[in-house]
Amino acid sequence: MPTTPASLLSPVPKNGSSPVSCRAMRMSLPAGGLSFDSYDLPYVVGMTRGIQLLCCIVELLMIYSESGSLSMAWFLLYSILCAYNLFHLSKRWYYNIDGRYDLKQFVRESEPTVRVQYGSAIFTPTLMGALIFCIIELQNGFIHSIFKLAAIVQLLLAIGQLALEFYEVYVKGN
């Protein structure tokens, strides 16, 4: 096969059939344009968790930068809340765990202790994000603004990810 620029850009299937042009790929989209069913859930979950991890790290750094104006009890409480959220998110990000199975088991199980375990796995980023946003108050205006921005982004991503998992389980049936 010649190595012309056009042949490098067109995808070539390995089974020996003819290459699919970009025009044919565009024409296979629905009439409305972009399809919302054409996403890769593990990739989306991994990206949202990665951004949430970054937000949690920024939150912890802002708390540490304000440690001089906080009492020891408030500093420890704020740090523990953010560190627990960071730990939970990083564990689920590292093992590539999305919440579909946990959500199915949460609804299916009748034993309360098992439901609590699956519920905590599903709802912890959202609940911790809401707690962190509502409880933690920092004094310095610039640091407070950066902290609140990171908390809002983390909370919105957690809510969006939870909504996507509910959509996957209840609407798409995955």
Q: pLDDT tens, 72-121?
A: 999 999 999 999 999 999 999 999 998 899 999 999 999 999 999 999 99
Pick from 41, 43, 36, 46: nearest CA to 174: 41
Give the pLDDT of residue 31: 54
Report residues of the chain scoring pLDDT below 50. 7, 10, 21-27
- Please state the domain extents for the chain: 41-171
Residues 6+ apart with CB under 8 A from 56: 82, 85, 86, 89, 150, 154
List, in order, residues 6 or more apart from 89 with CB less than 8 Å away. Answer: 49, 52, 53, 56, 125
Query: pLDDT at position 18, please?
Result: 52
Output the pLDDT for position 3.
Answer: 54
Residue 22, pLDDT score: 46
pLDDT score recorded for residue 98: 87
